[in-house]
Amino acid sequence: MYLIRLAILALITSLICSGTAVAQWKITPDSGYGNAGISVDASALPRTSWGFEGVFVLDDGSAYTVRPSTSADTTVLVARMMKNGQPDPLFDLDGVMAMKFTSQAVDVLLSPQDLVWIGSNRAGRYELSEIDRLGRLRPTPLWQDTALYASNTPIDVQDDGTILMWSRRWNPVDSPLYLRFTKVGGIVPSSDVFVPFQTEPIDLSMSTMFVDRNHRLLAGTNVTQGSFAIARYTAAGLPDETFGNALGLLVLPVKDLGAQLMEVLPLRSGGYVMVLWASEINNNITETFLRLLRVDEYGDIVASFGTNGILDIRGSQMASRGIVECPNGDLLLASTGTSVYSHLYQIRADGTVIPGQYGAFDILMAGELLSIIDDRWLYGISYDDTTEKYAVSRFELQRVTSIDEENHTPLDLVIDGRIISVKGAGTTSTVSVYSLLGECVLRQTCAPGETVSLPASVSGALVVSASTELASTSKIVSVVR
């Protein structure tokens, strides 16, 4: 019985430590950006879905959004926000412009000069339009395909303006697929190179492609019942045989229902962190989770990350909503929460999760992470409940240092009968109460000066904990009815 009690107490200690430890990064909405941290986007019509064709945050903090429009005379709305989150008054005079295309399907790119390029089909011919910084549409197409009835899907814009795209003739339906490199230069391309896409050793043509800083393509697919392969292509569009095994593949074991490559994050120090959506069957129940792996430049798994190079994050309805790298190499990963917020996981560079207020994660009022600018500003997509719109948002990213922790007044729990008080908390704290079996019987926020009352149904030996952003404490108490 004594050993069992020790095991139970160890479990509770683990729960408390995982639920109340201090996160490494403090993330707060930037009140000086837009409206309480959410940009004022003139193109944002009230809607219940994301509704973005493209979102681009530039290095100076300004941003473009391109949204589909349901108006009969408009296909897309293009908006530009200044770095303070307000509409750019020089962009079509009010921060938003409307465009009409014969095709509802459009592709959106950002040029090396930070201009918006929009591709669409017109009369069976693919062409690109260009919008300048003042919101003016180029009078003639930036580029127009010389061939009729060809499907083109842009993948990447290289530093010199060369566009990489998939290209295939409409007829016959089994016509070859090409990686096409076209250099825009007037209506007729100044260069047009077709590279036959190599489907051996595996066909990645239907996969989502990711591009690293060197314009190399990466993609992954399930190749057998139990394996998932990731390949990299050179900037010339050829399989990179220096990546992974002798076939140029990084092959991973996966269980049951396979996996899907969701994110590829190029790291500052080189290599990547990749996020896979994985699915397996446990006790006849399908469980989905996120698998993070760190890979070096040569396609080898970095064993020092997580457990042998892999970190699995499990929870309900897991899906990736973006991953970014902090200045010191820590990672911020957003996963499914609701349509308004995400579960935010803080992960050290070695692949260990930094516990948050809700166990392994914190709550972030953003539905998606985009990028970090100037090592200080975290950009995302957030829901503005005052306007019922989704828009680009900005958060201030501050590292919680040991000095902050030392200067923080230590927390103290005072329990008088069924009344719990938290002393030394300058901000709202979270009070959690656990039974000796590890069950959380109460969790409630407590503002400074307020108290928390235990329900009459709760009694016996309990573990009471309190936590703020900077500190945590706990006590074991006995409460009688």
| Residues 236 and 309 reside in one and the same domain | yes
Which is nearest to 239 in space by CA: 272, 280, 205, 270?
205
Q: Residue 265: beta bridge partners?
A: 273
Which CATH number is 444's domain given?
2.60.40.3080
Q: In the Cβ-directed half-sphere of 269, how many Cα atoms lie within 13 Å?
A: 12
For residue 4, the model assigns a pLDDT of 35
- Is residue 157 situated within a structural domain? no
Give pLDDT, residue 3.
Answer: 35
pLDDT reported for residue 469: 66
Q: Which of 303, 336, 364 is the last residue of a domain?
A: 364
Q: Phi-psi region for residue 42, left (φ > 0), alpha (ψ -120 to 50) or beta?
A: alpha
> What's the average pLDDT block by block, 10 residues per block, for the chain (481 residues)?
38 43 82 95 68 94 93 91 97 95 90 95 89 94 84 91 89 84 75 84 85 93 90 88 93 87 96 94 85 96 94 87 96 92 94 87 94 97 85 94 51 86 81 79 86 88 80 81 74
Sheet holding 76-81, edge to edge: 54-57, 63-68, 76-81, 96-99
The counts of H helices and E strands in the chain are 2, 36
Cβ atoms of residues 120 and 53 within 8 Å: no
Examine the domain organization and report whether 209 and 355 are in the same domain.
yes
| Amino acid type, 270 | G
In this structure, the number of other CB atoms found within 10 A of the CB of residue 1 comes to: 5
Residue that has been written with the tokens 């503002």 in this structure: 447
Instruction: Indicate if 304 and 235 belong to the same structural domain.
Output: yes
Do 318 and 452 have their domain in common? Answer: no
- Do 263 and 329 fall within a single domain? yes
pLDDT for res 332: 98
Residues 325 and 455 in one domain: no
* End residue of a domain, out of 337, 364, 391: 364
The domain in which residue 218 lies consists of: 198-364
Residue in 286, 200, 288 with CA at minimum distance from that of residue 249:
200
CA separation, residue 265 to residues 202, 211, 268, 299, 376 (Å): 23, 9, 10, 14, 18
Q: Say if 434 falls within a structural domain.
A: yes
Q: Is residue 93 part of a domain?
A: no
In a domain, 255, yes or no: yes
pLDDT for position 384: 84
Within this chain, do residues 423 and 355 fall inside the same structural domain, yes or no?
no
In this structure, what token pair is assigned to residue 131? 């919008």
* Gap between the Cα atoms of 471 and 2, Å rounded: 31
Residue 66 resides in a domain: no
The tokens describing 107, both together, are: 């592709």
- 268 and 348 in a single domain? The answer is yes
Asked whether residue 132 is assigned to any structural domain, the reply reads no
The residue out of 330, 364, 398 marking a domain boundary is: 364
The pLDDT assigned to 1 comes to 39
CA distance 93 to 84: 17
Residue 86 is which amino acid? Answer: Q
Q: Looking at the structure, do residues 309 and 428 belong to the same domain, yes or no?
A: no
Instruction: Give the pLDDT score at 149.
Output: 84
Residue 123 vs residues 76, 102, 109: alpha-carbon distances, Å? 19, 8, 21
Q: How many domains does the chain have?
A: 2
- Name the pairing type of β-strands 419-423 and 451-453: antiparallel
Mark whether 212 and 360 lie in a shared domain.
yes
Query: In this structure, is residue 261 part of a structural domain?
Result: yes
Name the nearest CA neighbour of 64 among 47, 80, 86. 80
Alpha-helical runs (H) found in 158-247: none
Same domain membership, residue 345 and residue 205? yes
CA distances from 399 to 30, 306, 377 (A): 15, 22, 12
* Same-domain status, 205 and 339: yes
Q: What pLDDT score was predicted for residue 404?
A: 45
